[in-house]
Amino acid sequence: MDYKDLGVRIKKKREEKRMSQAELAARTDLSTQHISNVENARSKVGLEKLVRIANALECSVGELLCGSMKTGSRTVYSDEIDGILENFSNTEMEVLPQLLRYYRYAFKLLKNDLEEKEGK
């Protein structure tokens, strides 16, 4: 888990709610210092405390974790992708899967071409 990213998400959600660190601390029965440490990735937060934070911020744990997860060596950029897709029309959304397949195919061709040129 990327604790820095998680802290940024917690802080962003807290600020959206116009809540101070002290208020979040009071609502979660945690110290203000601990909230600050979590938001600044100086402390790791366990599941129980993360659930309390999510409940106080009236969001899901998934919202706080989304974008903070890594799968193997790959970071999941779901929030960034969600932000881009948010303004897509229905037609754009319908075309997107095929467009991504074309992109992947073209990328593989270019990658192979570059590798062949470097090998010569």
Written out in words, the top-level CATH class of the domain with range 3-75 is: mainly alpha
Give the tens place of pLDDT for each residue, 37-96: 999 999 999 999 999 999 999 988 888 887 555 556 555 666 677 778 888 899 999 999
The residue extents of the domains of the chain are 3-75, 88-119
pLDDT band (50, 70, 90) for residue 34:
very high
Mean per-residue pLDDT, 11-36: 96
Q: Quote the CA–CA distance of 110 and 95 in Å, as a whole number.
A: 22
- Beta carbons within 8 Å of 58's beta carbon, 6+ residues apart: 17
| pTM of full prediction above 0.75 | no
pLDDT band (50, 70, 90) for residue 2:
confident
Q: Quote the CA–CA distance of 13 and 68 in Å, as a whole number.
A: 14
pLDDT value of residue 76: 60
**CA of residue 40 relative to chain centroid, distance:** 15
Span between the terminal Cα atoms of the chain, in Å: 41
> With contact defined as beta carbons under 8 Å apart, do 6 and 68 qualify?
yes
